Amino acid sequence: MIRAAGLEGPVKMIAVQGQVLSLTEDSVKLRLGVAALATEPNRRALAEKMSARTGRPFRVVFEVGNVEGTTVADEERRERVDAHRAMVEAFRKDPFVIDVAELFGGTVDEDSIRALQPEDPDSTTNER
């Protein structure tokens, strides 16, 4: 929902780092750990973006306090870690990787494993 709403800057930071206390089809209550972010302009900006996304008025309420639950940022981080772990496991099990590692006595550097990025059709080199 956050990506679809086109949130950017401080408003996006608030949405992903705030703890969702309640969420309905027309409102959200967020607990923010930083009081300086709980401003009326930020609340209004988030409400406007979410209203545009949902096609109806969307109410946003901020509460300042310790963020104790899972945030969207926490979930995104967990998803990235899980996806990387699965990618590393698949890479390690690839027959070609196994053969090359055995042939050269190599090991897999897990931190070097990354998903392939689509090639830029305008690119004339393979440098990244």
Residue-level pLDDT at 128:
44
Per-residue pLDDT band for 122 (boundaries 50, 70, 90) equals low
pLDDT tens digits along 53-104: 889 999 999 999 998 878 888 888 899 899 999 999 999 999 999 999 999 9
Locus of tokens 């639950």: 69
Residue-level pLDDT at 60:
95
**What's the order of all strands across the beta sheet hosting 27-32?**
19-24, 27-32, 59-64
User: How far is it, in rounded angstroms, from Cα 62 to Cα 8?
Assistant: 18
Please name the residues in contact with 57: beta carbons below 8 A apart, sequence gap of 6 or more: 26, 51
Buried b (16+ CB within 10 A) or exposed e, 77-87: eeeeeeeeeee
Do the Cβ atoms of 43 and 62 come closer than 8 Å? Answer: yes
